[in-house]
């Protein structure tokens, strides 16, 4: 019997019933396919493989200051990629977090293990936003921040108060107590292991311990090398900082260096 004849031979009631079942099956298949696509929308890192290192520049987006650190990371055999922030790097930090998410997804999609995100200055706030907004704990093995105003910077507050027109969106978001920073501090989102480094000599991020983050391994550099003088702009290429970063990458876990490690870390970072 041909299908057409079989179908027309059915009663209207049975045809309606079978048509409805076919529609339900089609919808279920479509939902299942959509679910698969959604699960594939955020790639998962490959366990056991070295993770790419992504370096996020500070306010203004200039990457030159991170070139030396990136080169040292590459010298260990790891992939180090500089994140190019949107626009001039002074726009909405939530947009910059989305840019970082794109870099992370591309790296993991290419076969990377859990990534390491290194954020310098305001780049550390971008890393924090990415972690909270994009579930960084599922994709990152660790986050390292260098002199990052995680609790805001007085210079941003002064700029916003003195001439708001000269304080772009990112500047406003870095004012202590801003809505963005308050939201981050209240977030209960799980974080990957986090190492926050800063220098007591920092004259740009004031107070310097604005870099302190609850739950992170917080390390003022002077606690490792007492008396060392490291300014904000020197953080990414200082031998002590680079030595700590390289040791952390090599060990695969975050821990605070001891004062007795000072000489060895500075040597490793040269």
Taking only the tens place, the pLDDT of each residue in 161-194 is 878 888 999 999 999 999 999 999 999 989 999 9
Q: Outline where DSSP puts E strands in the chain.
A: 51-56, 80-82, 113-120, 140-146, 194-198, 217-220
CB of 120 within 8 A of CB of 236? yes
pLDDT higher at 90 or 42:
90
Residues belonging to the chain: 270
Distance CA 128, CA 135 (A): 10
Q: Note whether 193 and 251 are within 8 A (CB).
A: no
pLDDT for the residue 210: 97
Say yes or no to pLDDT of 5 above 70.
no
Query: Distance between CA atoms of 120 and 196, rounded to whole angstroms?
Result: 10
* The model's pTM: 0.84
CA distances, 100 to each of 32, 56, 125, 134 (Å): 29, 8, 12, 10
Burial profile 242-269: b = 16 or more Cβ within 10 angstroms, e = fewer: bbbbbbbbeeeebeebeeebbeebbebb
Return the percentage of the chain with pLDDT > 90, whole number: 78
pLDDT at 200 over 90: yes
């Amino acid at each position: 019997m041909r299908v057409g004849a079989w179908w027309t031979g059915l009663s209207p009631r049975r045809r309606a019933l079978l048509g409805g079942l076919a529609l339900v099956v089609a919808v279920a298949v479509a939902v299942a396919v959509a679910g698969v696509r959604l699960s594939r929308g955020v790639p998962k890192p490959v366990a056991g493989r070295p993770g790419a290192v992504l370096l996020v520049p500070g306010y203004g987006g200039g990457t030159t200051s991170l070139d030396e650190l990136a080169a040292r990371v590459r010298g260990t055999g790891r992939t180090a990629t500089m994140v190019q922030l949107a626009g001039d790097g002074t726009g909405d930090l939530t947009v910059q977090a989305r840019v970082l998410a794109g870099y992370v997804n591309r790296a993991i999609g290419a076969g990377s293990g859990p990534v390491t995100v290194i954020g310098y200055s305001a780049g550390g706030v971008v890393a924090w936003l990415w972690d909270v907004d994009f579930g960084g704990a599922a994709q990152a093995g660790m986050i390292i921040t260098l002199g990052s105003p995680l609790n805001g910077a007085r210079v941003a507050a002064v700029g916003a108060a003195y001439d708001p027109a000269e304080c772009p969106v990112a500047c406003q978001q870095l004012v202590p107590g801003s809505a963005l920073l308050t939201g981050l501090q209240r977030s209960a989102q799980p974080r990957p292991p986090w190492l926050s480094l800063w220098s007591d000599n920092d004259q740009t991020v004031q107070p310097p311990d604005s870099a302190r983050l609850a739950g992170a391994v917080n390390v003022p550099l002077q606690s490792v090398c007492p008396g060392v003088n490291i300014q904000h702009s020197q953080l990414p290429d200082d031998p002590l900082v680079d030595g700590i970063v390289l040791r952390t990458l090599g060990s695969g876990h975050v821990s605070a260096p001891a004062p007795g490690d000072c000489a060895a870390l500075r040597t490793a970072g040269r």
